[in-house]
Structure 1
């Protein structure tokens, strides 16, 4: 299901973004809740997706399905495993009070995230299989296998939804319900996005300046040539330490004394002339 693009020759970027936000944001909050079981996380995911969309608006504005572009970003954020490390998102919200809705949501949350997303796109939103595969970054056969597995699991948990038509009707009605979440207005979302972008730009500039400063300081203080470090001498068994005269053995002393007592023995040509 491809949404009509709210852009046109008479729309400014702000007006086009606001129209897309009003059209897609409320439904996206409800859909991400079905994916996560967490209302606060669903609102956070949708706001993040529209922040990202406004920062990349030239790309989003020319996309054939701007609502699908934002939906994919919101789903990716909502299903990120890093949220499990955050205490506020560690556990799902209290389940719905209505038995059928509670059983279907529990069955959905038992599925691995890619299977959950596939069945919501295909049976909940009515996308065809190639579009579902493309949005979930899977091949068409892989998306079909995920869909069949998800339907089997849901049918086992909720027997009245074992038939694909029954699941399609129930999940489609649930996904199209009017959301009750209160969202910030589009102008506030755009302002927050711009503020967030400026903050990241300043942070990147500060980090870059710090790296340049550290590099310059290192270049100015580093030695210009290699200065080898001489290790202190150590005694090695059988090898005398370098530096100074070696210690003479008794045999060496005997030979030294003999050479000193008889210095002129030998051929005369080797005796220096005293004159």
Structure 2
């Protein structure tokens, strides 16, 4: 039988972290909140099974990423509207550095973005990132290296326009 207090503790202890991680992966605070909320709803529905996993938080994060991929068309339209109107996501209380990192993450391919978020922001080892993403450790290392190189120009003192281009938006995975 599901124990609501176990789920409540899990939710309270991980929701802010997962929203932050998904924000870094997607570049949209609203989208991150929606994805994480839906993933938690699915976790609750399967809580007996999910709670027995070694890392239920990784399960929720993976589900959130899968949801993101399945609603890609909606995301593309939303981002296009934001670019068209010059609206930037504002995250109350987020540091300027964090916002700059998220803007740089928007400009790199989704596989690199996911590896960087999981490794550098979530704190997973290369092996854990490989397990969560289904990639080999060598592939994860290459994605991390290429992603850091691709982000570097956007994190210098002369940071270019943080809004993604149409080509960058086409990197739609989580």
Runs of at least 4 residues off by over 4 Å: 95-99
Q: Which residue of 2 aligns with 1:85?
A: 74
Counterparts of 2:32 and 2:72, CA distance in 1: 12
* 2:117 corresponds to 1:127: no
Which structure has the larger Rg? 1
Alignment of 1:213-232 (within 5 A): none
Structure 2 gap segments, 5+ residues each: 158-174
Please, what is the CA RMSD of the aligned residues?
2.5
Q: Which residue of 1 aligns with 2:163?
A: none
* 2:20 corresponds to 1:23: no
Counterparts of 2:2 and 2:71, CA distance in 1: 36
What is the number of equivalent residue pairs in this alignment? 149
Alignment of 1:147-186 (within 5 A): 147-159=144-156
Question: Which structure carries more helix by proportion?
Answer: 2
Alignment of 1:93-112 (within 5 A): 94-95=88-89, 100-112=97-109
Residues 138-194 of structure 1: per-residue CA shift (max 9 Å, x gap): 11111111111001111232247xxxxxxxxxxxxxxxxxxxxxxxxxxxxxxxxxx
Which of the residues 45, 53, 56 maps onto 2:43? Answer: 53
User: Closer, same or farther in 2 for the Cα pair 1:150/1:81, shift >3 Å?
Assistant: farther
TM-score, normalisation: structure 1: 0.49
Greater RCO between the two (CA within 8 Å, min separation 6)? 2
Structure 1 gap segments, 5+ residues each: 1-10, 161-275
TM-score, normalisation: structure 2: 0.74
